[in-house]
Chain A
Amino acid sequence: MKLGIVTETRPEERRVAASPTTVAKWIKAGWEVAVERGAGTASSYPDSQYETAGATIVDRDVAWHADIVLKLRPPTLEEPAQLREGSTLISYLFPAENPDLVEALAARKVTVLAMDQVPRISRAQKMDALSSMANIAGYRSVIEAAIRFGSFFTGQITAAGKVAPAKVLIIGAGVAGLAALGAAKSLGAIVRAFDVRPSVEEQIQSLGGEFLTVRIQESGEGQGGYAKEMSKEFLEAEYALFREQAKDVDIVITTALIPGKPAPKLWFADMVELMKPGSVIVDLASEKGGNCELTVPGQVIEHKGVTIIGYTDLAGRLPKVASELYGTNLFHFLDEMGGAKNYKVDHENDAVRPALVLEQGEKKWPAPPMKKAEPPKPVAAPPPPVVAVAPAPKKSHGHGGAASPPSKAVGATMAVLGLIAAGVFIALRFGRTDVIASPETAALLQHLTVFVMAIFVGFQVVWNVSPALHTPLMSVTNAISGIIVVGGLLNARTSGGDMQPSVIVAIVATLFATINIAGGFLVTRRMLAMFRK
């Protein structure tokens, strides 16, 4: 299989889909790699390095004719014409926003996998290009702000006087927001981060940031690590908080994005005007229209002394590392699809299926929901305004958990029990008539039915017990198996009151069973009382 790495054609784009390091890994894994002449030049990867890594340097049309074409930015509307029919394209696509492009690709009967649609599940983290790029953009946003900010980030006391540290407000503590937080903090600034999701508080604090939120009981936790839309009261409280902060902070970095929708507006003109002259706003959402009302995508403007940076290529401004990381994401993605040897589009793979947009020209997006995958929210008419934040780093312990009952084992058990019941039935049906007729056999059969049903119920109930509670489960079952006390009591009672040996033995049995009951329940209570959140 031949991979083709083509030059990015979008103006100002300096990145490339793979670095020589990644190419070397592909060659080692058994792929053939063709790199378009000059594809990596802007990322400081000259052709010679790709050649050393084992790739062939080819012309544009040859690279576009490979079995699998690798790209970073979505292709232009013209570019699909260069694809060979039946080949595969892997790149960013944003299918919700680019329906024309999807049509153009469909006309070429190609298979298209969108790197922006890789699901946010722990297994797919190594293929999550959006997170890789968000991380870089977050870092770069701080650098851009520092260049235009007229003072130090860190506070200093010098012989020439005292300099206050810069105050940075980050809106949205997703991957980009947290990267910005870390970068600003390491430059010495005082950093605050706002997010609608209470769960990110810990992550913000772990990086040394101060967590700001609105004190209204509403969690902004949405699907797949994204935030959801908030109520009107919440938004009003949020804007009030922003106006208060606007007077105080020097740098604002906004990172709020909703997949498949324009970026929410949350930093209005009046907030900009509240800021001190010399302040800087970096709008990481500018490609999707910007979080700040005054942002001009792709440009830096000044409004009443406040600089508003609307670059759409922040990750591309670190082309070398961005290409490297994107290439690694692609490498893991191809690896997940089976590598050079067993490459195929597996519809059962919950990391790959959501990214599949077209298969041989046939539309496959959006993917049907899978049990573990969290497909991005489909486009819906949104009630404006909307507040949400960029992808958060995946919460690693969100899903998974309790062992699911192995249906095979339960099935086998049930089958065995069924056979026993059938066997008993047949034995009774065709056995000796006097045995069948006896009331004892009838009772036995009835007890067996109860027994089998109870086992079934037991299986169903116990599978749901959380593994953390296995010890209490054991002690509680221990206590209830003390029900044998009923046997002791019955035996002791039915004897008419005489002190026969059988009664004494039954009383001793009662004694032991009661120890069990009291001990089991009490110890369970003790244990359960300790489980605190």
Chain B
Amino acid sequence: MQDFYNSDAMITAAYVIAAVLFILSLRGLSSQETARRGNLYGIIGMAIAIGATLANNPDAAITTTLANNPDAAVAHAAAAATRGGFHALLFGAIFVGAVVGSIMAARVAMTGMPELVALLHSFVGLAAVLVGYSLDLKTQHSLAHRIEIYIDVWIGAITTTGSVLAFLKLRGSVSGKPLLLPARHFLNLAMLAGSLVCAFYYAKTNNQIALEIGTAIACVLGVHLVAAIGGADMPVVVSMLNSYSGWTASAAGFMLGNDLLIIVGALVGSSGAILSYIMCKAMNRSIWNVIFGGFGAAPPKSAGGPAQPQGEVQEIVANELADQLKEAKSVVIVPGYGMAVGRAQHAVRELTEVLRKRGTTVRFAIHPVAGRLPGHMNVLLAEANVPYDIVLEMDEINDDLPATDIVMVIGANDIVNPAAEDDPSSPIAGMPVLQVWKSKLVIVNKRGRAAGYAGIDNPLFYKPNTKMLFGDAKDAVEKVVAALKS
């Protein structure tokens, strides 16, 4: 008897429902109001997919056959004992995974979000590699199947090692500086060629060693690709790895002949691709330049490099700034990675509240690549309870900056660098930036006098209407708040 739970119809229906729920989940994210519902759709979709896969028990069919065959039934009973252990192991794995994941999610600080996201990407890649190997170990495969296994494992391996390196870079365990080997393009090409040779060999002979060598090459390639990308491009890297993890899932779908995996992988893959595109556009760089370039490769080294800014920086202390803020009618705050590092978002929120109570208009200007993740600043400000209707994007606020009394730049550098507009030889020339220097007064909070992540000096600091508020973001802002309150 073929009952419904074990039928193909049931599993197909469940997968279709899950796929639709995943699409609705992404759709829900189009606005803050529906986003939570979107997340819920995703959870339900996942539960249905896993539940259906678990409920659909191919062994049931075997059991029915065995019932008519006493000899085989004895053998089967023996196997059933091992299967008990197997089930315990499988559910144990799911349980442990869920617990570990939950703990990670609950523990992570909002400032550590980029690291977590990068690490999770590596898990998807790793799972895909393992599924590929598991399939390879199981049976002999046809040619087409072997190609699919190879592709799955290869992309999965790149995603895994690339994400791990991105994680380490974001955590600061590895320097953010791009590693530019002399012949890196050649190296990439060589590794690609090597991978193709292994693919060919594996497909032809089903030789597992070829698959293993291919995996190893992909691992190195993943590391090398991410190593060549500078810290300032991290948002692009993370979104690219997001895309890769999607394509990995899709490849696994092809390998297993599973449409749900293909659909979800394609959704995630295109999502990551779009994010990468948006980030690249925000920095006015081509995606190829980011993937293969690393900073310093693209700009022409003519005319003796970027012009050195002239002049002295002017300092301001918290008390003076507080006096200025009391006079100001409109204030715009430009947060950057420095605010995340200094965990200053709560202090900034307090500053906003104090100013708003005084009747000052306070708004936030968010550059698309501020921080180390797309939307990173929005998440931090939301955590600190800054209302999202005063948090504006670059395009919305740039026209208002000339009429703004004070712009406070907190831990941002490259995204407010006028050289992007004025100096064609600057490495960030052409990148759209927040035109803070057009406002009446610019306050730049910086820990010290070092250059930004892109490693270039910022002429903004030397402008006559710029004052520097040196010090740790949190301390500095808290001092200003205290001075405002007194």
Contact = CB atoms under 8 A, between A and B. Distances in A.
Interface of A: 122-123, 202, 205-208, 396-397, 400-401, 403, 406, 409, 440-441, 443-444, 447, 450-451, 454-455, 457-459, 461-503, 505-533
Nearest to B242: A474
Contacts of B375: 467-474
B98 A518 contact: yes
B307 interface: no
* Range class of the B interface residue count: 35 or more
Contact of A403 (B85, B105, B136, B278): B278
A497 B378 CA distance: 48
Contact of B26 (A202, A458, A489, A499): A458
Interface string B234-275: 000011001001101110111111111111111111111011
Given A450-B262, A484-B252, A509-B131, 16 more contacts: A401-B396, A454-B262, A458-B268, A459-B274, A466-B29, A466-B30, A477-B267, A479-B120, A480-B46, A489-B90, A497-B86, A517-B46, A517-B97, A519-B104, A522-B101, A532-B382
Nearest to A396: B400
B257 A523 contact: no
B124 A484 contact: yes
B329 A206 contact: yes
A516 B163 CA distance: 13
B303 interface: no
Interface in B22-50: 22-23, 25-27, 29-32, 35-36, 38-39, 42-43, 45-46, 49-50
Given A502-B137, A528-B39, A513 B363 contact: no
A502 B257 contact: no
Nearest to B392: A397
Contacts of B387: 532-533
B367 to A, nearest CB: 11
B395 interface: yes
A468 B32 contact: yes
B86 A499 contact: yes
Given A474-B238, A474-B242, A527-B110, A502 B134 contact: yes
Contact of A481 (B102, B249, B255): B249
Contacts of B338: none
B39 A524 contact: yes
Contacts of A463: 274
Interface string B101-144: 11011101010010011001101101110110111111000101
A440 B254 CA distance: 11
Nearest to A495: B138
A498 B89 CA distance: 12
Interface in B382-408: 382-383, 385, 387-389, 391-393, 395-397, 399-400
B93 A508 contact: yes
Contacts of A498: 79, 82
Contact of B46 (A403, A473, A477, A521): A521
Nearest to A509: B130
Contacts of A514: 93-94, 96-98, 101
Contacts of B135: 491, 502
B360 interface: yes
A447 B123 contact: no
B29 A451 contact: no
B319 to A, nearest CB: 24
B268 to A, nearest CB: 4
Interface string B328-365: 01100000000000000000000000000001110100
Contact of A517 (B98, B246, B281): B98
Contacts of B35: 469, 472, 528, 531
A464 B27 contact: yes
A400 B124 contact: no
A396 B83 CA distance: 66
B200 interface: no
Given A493-B57, A508-B130, A523-B116, A531 B400 contact: no
Contacts of B262: 447, 450-451, 454
B102 A518 contact: yes
Contacts of B58: 493-494
B209 interface: no
B436 to A, nearest CB: 16
A502 B90 contact: no
B97 A513 contact: yes
Contacts of A454: 19, 262-267
Given A122-B399, A512-B97, A481 B124 contact: yes
Contacts of A473: 26, 29, 271, 275, 374-375
B79 A505 contact: no
Contacts of B266: 451, 454-455, 457-458
Contacts of B275: 462, 470, 473-474
A513 B124 contact: yes
Contacts of A526: 105-106
Interface string B397-423: 101100000000000000000000000
A521 to B, nearest CB: 5
Contacts of A484: 124, 127-128, 131, 248-249, 252, 261
B192 interface: no
A477 B269 CA distance: 9
A184 B106 CA distance: 54
Given A486-B261, A531-B388, A466 B86 contact: no
A256 B264 CA distance: 56
A494 B60 CA distance: 11
A513 B249 CA distance: 11
20 contacts: A122-B400, A443-B257, A455-B266, A462-B270, A465-B26, A467-B378, A471-B374, A481-B249, A482-B123, A488-B127, A488-B130, A497-B86, A502-B138, A513-B124, A514-B98, A515-B123, A516-B123, A519-B100, A520-B105, A528-B32
Given A457-B23, A497-B79, A515-B97, A492 B90 contact: yes
Contacts of A508: 93, 130
B9 interface: no
B242 A469 contact: no
A372 to B, nearest CB: 12
Contacts of A458: 26, 266-271
Contacts of B23: 457, 461
A507 B329 CA distance: 61
Nearest to B98: A518
A252 B424 CA distance: 56
Given A474-B239, A502-B134, A481 B265 contact: yes
A466 B31 contact: yes
A471 B383 CA distance: 13
B252 A527 contact: no
B270 A467 contact: no
Contact of B42 (A461, A480, A489): A480
B368 A467 contact: yes
B53 interface: yes
Contacts of A466: 29-32
A465 B260 contact: no
Given A517-B98, A519-B116, A487 B267 contact: no
B138 A525 contact: no
Contacts of A464: 27, 30
B313 interface: no
Contacts of B385: 530, 532
Contacts of A461: 23, 26-27, 267
A478 B242 contact: yes
A489 B113 contact: no
Contacts of B45: 480
A401 B39 contact: no
B73 to A, nearest CB: 15
**Which of the listed residues A123, A489, A507, A518 has the most CB atoms from chain B within 10 Å of its own CB?**
A518
B388 A533 contact: yes
Contact of B263 (A450, A505, A511, A523): A450
B260 to A, nearest CB: 6
Contacts of B38: 476
Contacts of B179: none
